[in-house]
Amino acid sequence: MEAEGRLYFKYGVMGSSKTAQALMSRFNYIQKGYGVLLIKPSIDNRFQDGKPEVISRIGLRADCLTFGNNESLKAIVEKQKAERAVDVIIVDESQFLTKEQVDELKLISKDTPVVCYGLLTNFKTELFEGSKRLLELADEVVNLKGSVCKCGRDATVNARLVNGKVTTTGAEILIGAEESYESMCYWCFNDKLNQNEEEKDR
């Protein structure tokens, strides 16, 4: 079965149902008879009993393959295609891809559609390496809106909280600490940063 070969990047902040949509897309493809390869970077180790899974906040889940940042996605896809039908590739947590891996996905997408789901920016409002390259190469980019700031505006920032206060310092990647993040609009994010500075000056 053939499908149009394109590279898609569907991004949103935390809580915008990225993973749920990835899993629903997988289900829909399978229902139509497509062979789906579901993969994600191994740095996202949120799975149970050592079994690689893609898990959404609403409880949807599916087995997946994981890969390290030094692994070739071209080699992984070729191996999978030699063993079974792979008509569509779905990538979760695509912000953690390396530039080289995105380049590989672009080449793969010539013959096999590749759909990437992930964050656009980190808690400093800066592009992740993988997201930056996806913006540069994707045939179609979709903003998955749906997460709302407490003020009512669309949430666009993945703010990191330490002791209840917004911070822009620390390591870029902090896996499995969802309680340390809050999706908010840029203006609330900026206000909270300014409040922190005012408190320091007192």
Which residues are catalytic, by number?
A: 93
Tell me the C-alpha distance between 47 and 31, whole Å: 25
Tokens read off for 108: 């793969």
| Alpha carbons 55 and 171: distance in angstroms, whole number | 24
| Range 29-58 burial, b when 16+ CB lie within 10 A, else e | beeeebbbbbbbbeebeebeeeebbbbbee
Round to whole Å and give the CA distance between 110 and 200. 53
| CA atoms of 119 and 111, how far apart (whole Å) | 25
